[in-house]
């Protein structure tokens, strides 16, 4: 197997996508200690929390304290999810580097997740993006339910294109394509990327796979073959989306790293240091983490 280019960017979303769906509230000091450990593993990007409404995501109600309390290691981008102007105000007060706005390709998931139709969401995200850019922040966009919706089933590629176009027009630097409920399989990933890559350059897109059906690694491999170089993942496989029934964890950063390094790809990340950080958060969660690497290292 030969892949070109060999440099891959991993965006660690565990402190946000991982923790948002957990019933355990990880104390603020532990979240900060965990993020600080990951900052020294060679990861260049950490999504550290979410400035959504704390009633909607109680596990991340301490977003301001977490983002304001972490160490800022040079060369690491500290990002957070931001749904609207109120979220941006909180994110700016906590000195976040990058803002991630989000919406869904499918209408029903968008309404369940952020209480607005897609049409109502566009101007809110446009305003948030404009104001974040004006404040000197970079902005990333997520499209959820790209490969399937928990309420509507199949999602039309035209909807994915429309929402991706809208985000790029607003000025986001990259769009992350979310398999929110982990239904994608390799052939579908290939077919979807064949269409999208005719319209958008690969370096404007990232892949965000959840591993509900064990397909995430195969989906990454196909994406690599199609020229994708940026992947979101969550240490130990933590994660899910509380407003997407059936969603489970993201692809595990530790497992992803094992495959990428085995393929000769460069990530800049130290696997041993990452494992130490995984053991730390596992102890705080009080349950075994789901990744294969974590199970193997403790067997
Ligand atoms: P809403 O109730 O429609 O909000 O919620 P609103 O604009 O009508 O405002 C109602 C009240 O909430 C107001 O307060 C606002 O100030 C306040 P009041 O005047 O009544 O006192 N408020 C806020 N407070 C704090 N922070 C805020 C905020 N916004 C409004 N940001 C809202 C709309 C978007 C806020 C809500 O629906 C929400 O928080 N949803 C978030 C759901 C969520 O976090 N889902 C998971 C993340 S997405 C995901 O996991 C998918 C992803 O991983 C990719 C993939 O896998 O596909 C990214
Ligand atoms: Mg997700």
Q: Where are the domains of the chain?
A: 9-297
Predicted local distance difference test score (pLDDT) of residue 54: 97
Q: Is the CB of 159 under 6 A from ligand 1?
A: no
Predicted local distance difference test score (pLDDT) of residue 248: 85
Is 149 tagged catalytic?
no
241, 252, 278, 281: which is the annotated catalytic residue? 241
Give, rounded to a whole angstrom, the gap between the first and last alpha carbons of the chain. Answer: 30
CA triplet 271, 217, 267: central angle to 5 degrees?
Answer: 35
The mean pLDDT value for 155-171 works out to 98
Is the pLDDT assigned to residue 279 strictly greater than 90?
yes
Mean pLDDT lowest among 40-49, 73-82, 160-169, 239-248: 239-248
- 156 CB burial (10 A radius; 0-12, 13-18, 19+): exposed
Give the whole-number percent of the chain exceeding pLDDT 90.
90
In this structure, which residues have their CB less than 5 angstroms from ion ligand 2? 17
pLDDT tens column, 59-112: 999 999 999 999 999 999 999 999 999 999 999 999 999 999 999 999 999 999
CA 157 to ligand 2 center in whole angstroms:
19
Predicted local distance difference test score (pLDDT) of residue 245: 78
Closest ligand (CA of 117): 1
Predicted local distance difference test score (pLDDT) of residue 173: 98
CA–CA distance, 58 with 219 (Å, rounded to integer):
31
DSSP one-letter code for 112: H
Q: Is the CB of 18 under 6 A from ligand 1?
A: no
pLDDT band at 21 (very low <50, low <70, confident <90, very high): confident
Residues in the chain: 299
Q: Give start and end residues of each alpha helix (H) in the chain.
A: 28-39, 63-69, 85-93, 107-114, 118-134, 157-170, 186-199, 216-225, 253-262, 271-285, 292-297
Is the pLDDT assigned to residue 239 strictly greater than 90?
no
If you average pLDDT over every residue of the chain, what do you get?
A: 96
- 136 CB burial (10 A radius; 0-12, 13-18, 19+): exposed
Q: Helix, strand, coil shares of the chain as percentages rounded to 5?
A: 45, 15, 35
CATH number of 9-297: 3.20.20.70
The mean pLDDT value for 7-34 works out to 96
């Amino acid at each position: 197997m030969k892949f070109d280019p060999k440099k891959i960017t991993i965006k660690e979303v565990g402190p946000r996508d991982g923790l948002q769906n957990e019933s355990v509230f990880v104390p603020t000091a532990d979240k900060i200690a965990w993020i600080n450990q990951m900052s020294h593993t060679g990861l260049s990007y950490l999504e550290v929390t979410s400035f959504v409404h704390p009633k909607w995501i109680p596990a991340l109600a301490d977003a301001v304290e977490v983002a304001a309390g972490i160490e800022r290691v040079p060369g690491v981008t500290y990002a957070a999810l931001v749904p609207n102007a109120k979220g941006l105000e909180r994110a700016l007060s906590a000195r976040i580097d990058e803002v991630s706005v989000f919406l869904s390709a499918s209408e029903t998931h968008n309404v369940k997740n952020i209480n607005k139709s897609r049409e109502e969401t566009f101007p809110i995200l446009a305003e948030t993006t404009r104001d974040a850019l004006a404040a000197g922040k970079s902005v990333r966009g997520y499209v959820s339910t790209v490969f399937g919706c928990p309420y509507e089933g199949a999602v039309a590629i035209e909807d994915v294109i429309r929402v991706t176009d809208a985000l790029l027009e607003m000025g986001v630097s990259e769009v992350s394509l979310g398999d929110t409920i982990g239904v994608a399989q390799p052939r579908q990933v290939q077919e979807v990327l064949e269409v999208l890559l005719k319209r958008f350059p690969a370096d404007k897109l990232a892949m965000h796979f959840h591993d509900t059906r064990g397909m995430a690694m195969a989906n990454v491999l196909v994406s690599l073959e199609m020229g994708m170089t940026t992947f979101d993942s969550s240490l130990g496989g933590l994660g899910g989306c509380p407003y997407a029934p059936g969603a489970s964890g993201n692809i595990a950063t530790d497992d992803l790293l094992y495959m990428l390094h085995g393929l000769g790809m460069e990530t800049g990340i130290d696997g041993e240091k990452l494992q130490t950080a995984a053991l730390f958060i596992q102890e705080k969660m009080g349950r075994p983490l789901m990744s294969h690497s974590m199970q193997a290292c403790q067997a």
